[in-house]
Structures are given as C-alpha cells and as structure tokens.
Structure 1
Amino acid sequence: MPYYPYLRARQYELLALRELLMAGKLPLQVVPVIEPIRDMPQLRQTLRMFRECEGGALGVVLNPDVGDLTAATDLDSLFDIYGHNEPDPLIGERGTIFPAVLLNNDATTVAQQVQNADSALMKDRGIVFVSENDRGRIKELRNFVFHAVAASDSERLTRDLKRNGIVAKRILFSDPFIKRENNAAYGEEEYQDEFFSDDHLWYTDKYEGFGDYSIVGDNYDERGGMPKAVALHIVYFDDEWNLRVHHFVSDVSDDAHETPEKFVQTVRMLDAWHIQRNDMKQAHQTIGLQKLIGHAKTGTYPGLPTIKKLCIMHHLELMGWFLSERPDR
C-alpha cells in the first residue's frame, strides 16, 4: 500500500525527489504529492522525470492554496505548467502524473475540467485532500468522480463523508511533525526525541494508504534568514517499529556567520548517535544520512536548503525501505 508524502514543491523538495528517483531509492510504495508554489524549471524537470520513470507516480495539486499559482484556475494554463505543452500532460509513456485536488473554492471547477478532459484521470487515480476546515464543502464531492479521499482519522469527518454518501477509498493523512517556536526549542530535553507516527503499522485496517507532510509540516512560510540555532530532524524506527524523530540542535547565537560552525556541530552529534545505533535491526543507512554524516567527517557546510533536502531524502527513503522490505515481519 502506498505512502503519500505531501510536499510544497520548493526547490529543495523537488531536488530531494529527483535525487532519490535517479538513485533508484524511491520504490513504487512511495507516491509523492506536490503542491506547486510557482512555475519554475525544476518543477517541469521533476514532472518530466516521473513521467519517464517506469512505474513512477507523482500526484500534482491542480488548485494550490499557497504560493504564486493560487489564483490560476485556468486549467489550460496549469496543464501548460504541468505538461510542458505535451498533448497528454498528466500521462507519461512509462510513469503517471495524476491529479490531486484540495477541497477549496476551486475544487469543483478544477475537478470537473479534469474529468471533462479525461474521465479516467480523476476516477482511476485522482485524490481529493479534505481537512477539518473543509467540512462545510464535503457535499461538493458529490459533483464529480474521484479515486480516493485523503483525510485525517477524525470520526467527525468520517461521519460527514458517510452522511453525504461519499464512498470513495480513504487515505489516512496526518501532520505528525510538531512545529516549535524556533529551532532552539527542539533542543530542550523534553522535545529532543519525540514520537512521530505509527500510521505505517495500522493504516491497512481501514485505509488503502497513508500520508503526511514529512518532517516539514503543514506550515507554509517563505521567509528566509539565518536561524539562531541549526536543527536537524532525523526520523528513525524504535524497537516496536514506531517512527520517532530526533532533533539535533546546535548552540544558540545571533551571529549568522556562525551558521556553518553550528551545522558541523549538529552533524557531529548525528554521527555519534548513528554509530550507537548502527548495529540495530531498525537502522538503515540512507543516502540523505550518508551525506549528512559525510559533512561531519569533512567539516563542510552545504547551505540550509541542502540540509533540509537531505533530511527529507532520509525520511522518504527510510519509509520506502520499510514498506518494500517490511523488516518488522
């Protein structure tokens, strides 16, 4: 059953997907869904790579809620972005780019347009993302046909869907990453190591797949700047195969020039932690983890976006390893 990581298609997130795909570390059980925030070459290149990948599948949100494309309800314009002027923009020769729809003001219009263009696209692969805030629009799901609803395990949402006669398949969708007020807060003893998720262990009871926002969280913020502390968020499996997240946090200072030094401090913490876990059955050496530890050995600083990219790569590859190998059985 698939794992659907939801990413906002920032440049470092697109690079994470592309590097995993090129390395063959994104198995069929991992089906990313991206919400494009702007039209940029990296977006088109990523779509092309998934379209050309044997068995690859990528969900693309057609009615984004954030970024520069939120006002674009002209599906022809969106298809130009997603399909790069190809005759069948959401279908590739070997891989598939399938439609994803957010249950916002544009949902019905966009879904109907996709359905009119190719009824099989929404019916066979289309996913509608529903949140608690969307409860007032659930009845609109009756206006078009789609494959699955991605929603939380809320009993209230379940009753709303049933009350409105929505019988589509369900994808368990959550946001397990706990957002703190700043990076330094993750270094506090009570937060340094936290439970992340066990959805991968039980979702098959009621759902056909599960998804989350990876270690980024649902919060969307384009603001940059140098943090007072550098933090690495590394997920790992415990003895019971629950997913936990360990936060490696540097010293705190207001000096932006110390950011490279702070990063090296955190990856050396990660290296020491990894050495202790290296022989455990739950440990798995991912590309992202290898590259982060490599920076600990060389004392180099790749930049904050690359750090985020490597942490996401680690999470997605780790989930792919678990779902393809099922080492818990």
Structure 2
Amino acid sequence: MYHPYFRGKQFELITIREMAPLMAASGFVPIIEPVREALKGLERALTEICNAKGNAIVIVNPFHGDHSEDGGSITALLEKSFLGKGGITAGILLQNDMSIDDALACYEKHKAHSPSFIHAGFTEAKTLAEKLGEGLANTSHVFFEKYCHKLYRKHFKGAAKRVLLRDGFERRRNADHPTVELFSDLHVTYEEEDMDGFGDFLIVGDDYTEGGGPAYAVAIHLTFIDPDADEVMYIYHFVSTTKDTPTDPAGKFAQALDKLIKKLDGGNSHLFDSSAIKEFRDLHKKGHFPGLGSVKKLSMNHHIETLANFLG
C-alpha cells in the first residue's frame, strides 16, 4: 500500500529501525536507496524489518551517493544476509541512461531476490514490458510520477503491483517556506489513478543533497490530514523567527518549537498525536535541542505514524 522512499542516510535508517514494527503491522513497504559506502546501518535497519516480519525494497543500483558507480556491495549484502528472507527484495532503478539490455541483465542477476522495477526516467517502457512477457505478472513496478505519465504506466497494466510515487515536499530555503501548504492527496486517490499503492519522499523530498550548509533558519516540517478538506494531506512549516545568521541552531530550534507547541495547544492543528509529537512536547518542556538530524527523524516518524493512523 504505502511505500515511503528513503535515501539511506543515518537518520533515514534510524527512522526505518524505529518505525519497523509499525510499518510491518500497517503493510507499509519502505524503498531504500543506499547512498553511504558503509552498509552497517542499512543491515541493521533491514534486520529490524525482518524481526518485525515486514517488507522492504533495497535499490541495488543507486543513482545517488557512494554506490552510484557500482552497487556490487549492496548485492553482496542481500545475498549474504537476506537471501531467503522473503521480506527483503531487490529494487532496480531505471534511469534515463539505462539501456533495455542493462535493465534485463540487472533483473536476471537479482531474480532470486524477487526484484521490483523503480521507474525514474527510463525511456523504453514498452520494450521492457514486451521482454518481460508472461513474467510481467510476477513483477512489481514503482513509478516516479514526474517521469512516468499515464501512457508510460499503461504498459505495465498486467503487473503484480503498481505503485505511484509523488514528491509532496516543495524544496526551498527554510526561511522561504509558507506556514502551511498542500502536500498530497495520493493516499485517498491512488486507486483512482489505477494503482495498487502510493509512495512519497516523506518530509525530505526527492532532491538529493550530500549535506546541508549552516542553518540560517531552522524549520520543523509536520504533515497532517485535514478532515474538513476531503482528507487531503497538508504540511506545516514551523520556521524560526531568526533567519539572518548562521549561528545558534539551538536557539532557532526553540523558536520553531514554540510555534509548533502554540499551534498544538490551540486545539485545531489536526496534527495526529504521534509518539513524535509527544517527543516534541518533551523537548519543549526540557528546553533541549537534540540536533537537526534528530528533528528531521522525528518529522519522518510523525509522517509514517500519521499515515498508519489514517489508513488503519
């Protein structure tokens, strides 16, 4: 049903570990594109998913990060530690520079791992569907919406599963975020799109960056589903008041957190009372700054908990 797309940085992998039991219970299937050379964190996250009897798709040929030239060590990890553990499957990322022969070779190489195709700019949809032939019915396909129009997706109509991936997060400078804006309606419309599931890039977005610069403004991004607006999902951006210096991230976080708590206490935020919200309240009470990575992790946790609550 729901497929959150993670790039395997430290705090993304921590979110996967912490949310593994909830994702498994909800039938959520994270897609992970490993971007760090060291795979210990990925292995720990996948182990937690297996322990929870959940499922995940691991991209074996990442486009971003340390494995973009060679995903061999990811394949080796899947073979060594997760072959035969049905919940962990291989994902083949189909980019615009990938030939049909390369796509099929990658598919054959990972056939024991029940591979899924992740369509992200690939141009030979019709040929791939034809080459898969009767095997199409046993394959799953995930489509980046911005690359895959309806005619493209139509070629894979007979597949076992089709998932539409939409980026609901508008990337801009923290200082430039509005207070609230539309995130997505795909959680309520994916069946109308003739899909079996949907996904997103959580509160991070699809645009990949290696590392952030100094935080001139600190923002807490939290999604919510509005029952008064056809259950569409929106996102709050609680932005620090101070936006013009690269110093004092702790003070800026406190300013953003004050705005969040004020909204919560107003009683009309529509924010689900997740474990992440409880932790934000605790941080406010203690006056503690956990670091920007932990703030992002809490926002990702909240997003997953919000959808689990809604879809459950």
Name 1:184's counterpart in structure 2: 175
The 2-side partners of 1:243 and 1:304 are apart by: 24
Residue by residue over 1:139-173, the C-alpha shift from the partner in whole angstroms, topping out at 9 and shown as x without a partner, is 234444452222256797332354x5763232121
Which residue of the partner structure matches residue 222 of structure 2?
234
Q: Do structure 1's residue 81 and structure 2's residue 68 form an aligned pair?
A: no
User: How far off its partner does 1:241 sit?
Assistant: 1.2
**Residue of structure 1 equivalent to 2:185:** 198
Q: Counterpart of 1:100 in 2: which secondary structure?
A: strand
Decide whether aligned partners of structure 1 residues 303 and 57 sit closer, same or farther in structure 2, where only a CA change above 3 A counts: same
SS at match of 1:68: helix
Q: How many residues align?
A: 298
Q: 1:28 offset after TM fit, Å?
A: 2.9
The residue number in structure 2 matching 1:268 is 258
**Residue among 195, 199, 203 paired with 1:211:** 199
- Given the alignment of the two structures, is residue 98 of structure 1 paired with residue 96 of structure 2, yes or no? no
Q: For the residues of structure 2 that align with 1:155 and 1:219, how far apart are their CA atoms?
A: 14
Change beyond 3 A, Cα 1:179–1:170: same
The residue number in structure 2 matching 1:327 is none
Pick from 88, 106, 109: which aligns with 2:105? 109
Q: Distance in 2 between matches of 1:185 and 1:241?
A: 26
The separation in 2 between residues aligned to 1:158 and 1:220, in whole angstroms, is 25
Q: Distance in 2 between matches of 1:256 and 1:267?
A: 18
- 1:38-92 per-residue CA deviation (whole Å, 9 max, x = no partner) reads 23321111111112222x1111111110011112154xx3232335x23xx2432
The one-character-per-residue Cα deviations of 1:180-239 (angstroms, maximum 9, x if unpaired) are 1x11001xxxx2210111111121231110011111110000123321000111101112
**2:24–2:49 CA contact under 8 A, matched in 1:** no
Q: Is residue 172 from structure 1 mapped to residue 159 from structure 2 by the alignment?
A: no
Q: Does the CA contact (< 8 Å) of 2:23 and 2:29 recur in 1?
A: no
Partner residue, 1:246: 236
Residues 61, 242 of structure 1: alpha-carbon distance in 2 compared, 3 angstrom cutoff: same
Quickly say closer, same or farther: Cα 1:276–1:138, change in 2 above 3 A.
farther
User: 1 CA distance for matches of 2:286 and 2:63?
Assistant: 41
Q: What's the CA shift for 1:26?
A: 5.3
> Quick one: structure 1 residues 305 and 138, their matched pair in 2 at CA, closer, same or farther if it must change by over 3 Å?
farther
In structure 2, the CA distance between the partners of 1:57 and 1:134, relative to structure 1 (3 Å rule), is same
SS in 1 for 2:141: strand
1:228/1:255 contact within 8 Å kept: yes
Percent identical across equivalent pairs?
30
Q: 1:208 to 1:161 in 2, by over 3 A?
A: closer
- For the 8 Å contact 1:101–1:111, the answer to whether it is kept is yes
Of residues 248, 264, 285, the one that matches 1:258 is 248
Conservation of the 8 A alpha-carbon contact between 1:73 and 1:110? no
The residue that corresponds to 1:33 in the other structure is 31
Amino acid in structure 2 at the alignment position of 1:3: Y
**Structure 2 unmatched ranges of 5 or more:** none
Cα shift at 1:108: 2.6
**Is 1:16–2:15 an aligned residue pair?**
yes
- TM superposition shift of 1:107: 3.0
Q: Following TM superposition, by how much is the alpha carbon of 1:112 offset from its aligned partner in structure 2, in angstroms?
A: 1.4
The C-alpha deviation readout for 1:270-328, integer Å capped at 9, x for no partner, is: 111112236x8x5421111211222111111000111111100000111111111xxxx
The aligned amino acid for 1:202 is T
Q: CA–CA distance in 2 between the matches of 1:277 and 1:29?
A: 31
Query: Match for residue 43 of structure 2?
Result: 44
Q: In the alignment, which residue of structure 1 is the partner of 2:291?
A: 303
Using the size of structure 2 for normalisation, the TM-score is: 0.87
Is the 2:240–2:255 Cα contact (8 Å) retained in structure 1?
A: yes
User: Which residue number in structure 1 is paired with residue 140 of structure 2?
Assistant: 148
Contact 1:30 1:316 in 2 (8 A): no
CA contact (8 A) 1:51 1:91 kept: no
What one-letter code is carried by the residue in structure 1 that aligns with 2:214? M
Specify every segment of 5 or more residues in structure 1 that has no aligned partner in the other structure, as ranges. Answer: 325-329
**TM-score computed with the length of structure 1 as normaliser:** 0.83
The answer to whether 1:59 aligns with 2:57 is yes
